[in-house]
Amino acid sequence: MQVILQPTAERAVNLVAHIIAESIKRKPHLVLGLATGRTMVPLYQRLVSMHREEGLDFSLVVTFNLDEYIGLPPSHPGSYHYFMYNHLFNHINIDKRNIHIPNGMAEDIRKECKLYEEKIRDFGGIDLQILSIGESGHIGFNEPLSSMFSRTREKALSPITIEQNKHLFPNPEEMPKRAITMGVGTILEADQCVVLVTGKHKGEILAKAVEGPITAMVSATALQLHPNCVVVADEEAGCKLTQKEYYRWIFENEPEWEVYRGKI
């Protein structure tokens, strides 16, 4: 795992946007795993501006979203379908046939989860998975007790997550209590994981995720096992990390991070 600390959230977002852009330029058929949530909003804004102003081309990119609420139609403003089209897909030149988001309205949820895994496999697996960390320590909707080997499945949301996300619904009571999520095992199979974490309120959970013991109680700790995982955080989110100086030293002195340094 590599931790890159940026002085501001804007710089952190900018770096992750550049990592995505470089990956698309290197491999136009990139299979890109995407996340939702407030952290992603400025990242998607940045990608939209790179598309409009710099011609970043999404025409061959294939996307897989991490998760979706069960029981919400794509037209519901709280659904992740709605979020993704509203913040990203409606504003870039992606081929809509290449967009994959779990169907939370499927009659047979188990079958939907199995098909989702198969689709990921059919595209040769995820090249680059973008993530953030929820306040419960989740990645996707892998709430506490999620197995490190878990696959795409239905998961009950924790009280912390319900509290965190219900304000994103026009009527907070409408927030579903269950979701479909890629499993921790599914996420760990991506070639590269890039985790964007911003804001002081994420300080405790980021420190647990990066420096804490690996535990199913904090799914993000599983990323410590990933051979190619980069965490990009702003100073505020990094406030509880004990090894900050070490992370900074590596970033400034290791030649393998030159590319990243050049992007900010």
Interacting residues toward ligand GLP by CB under 6 A: 35-39, 66-67, 132, 134, 140-141, 161, 165
What's the closest the beta carbon of residue 147 comes to ligand GLP, in angstroms? 18
Output 3 or 66, the one with its CB closest to ligand GLP: 66
Q: Report, in this order, helix, strand and coil percent for the chain, each rounded to 5.
A: 45, 15, 40
Q: What is the dihedral of CA 116, 122, 125, 130, to 10 degrees?
A: -50
Output 134 or 241, the one with its CB closest to ligand GLP: 134
Output 65 or 98, the one with its CB closest to ligand GLP: 65
Cβ neighbourhood burial of 94 (10 Å; 0-12, 13-18, 19+): buried
Contact 155, 181 (CB under 8 A): yes
Q: Give the span between the Cα atoms of 225 and 25, in whole angstroms.
A: 28
Give residues with Cβ within 8 angstroms of 262, minimum separation 6.
none
Amino acid identity of residue 137, one-letter, is G
What's the closest the beta carbon of residue 55 comes to ligand GLP, in angstroms? 28
Output 50 or 175, the one with its CB closest to ligand GLP: 175
What's the closest the beta carbon of residue 107 comes to ligand GLP, in angstroms? 23
What's the closest the beta carbon of residue 54 comes to ligand GLP, in angstroms? 25
Rg of the Cα atoms in the chain: 17
Residue nearest to ligand GLP (CB): 37
Give residues with Cβ within 8 angstroms of 243, minimum separation 6.
3, 211
Output 57 or 174, the one with its CB closest to ligand GLP: 174
Output 71 or 257, the one with its CB closest to ligand GLP: 71
What's the closest the beta carbon of residue 66 comes to ligand GLP, in angstroms? 5
What's the closest the beta carbon of residue 9 comes to ligand GLP, in angstroms? 11
Output 140 or 203, the one with its CB closest to ligand GLP: 140
* Alpha-carbon distances, residue 251 vs 36, 133, 230, 258 (angstroms): 27, 22, 11, 8
What's the closest the beta carbon of residue 41 comes to ligand GLP, in angstroms? 8
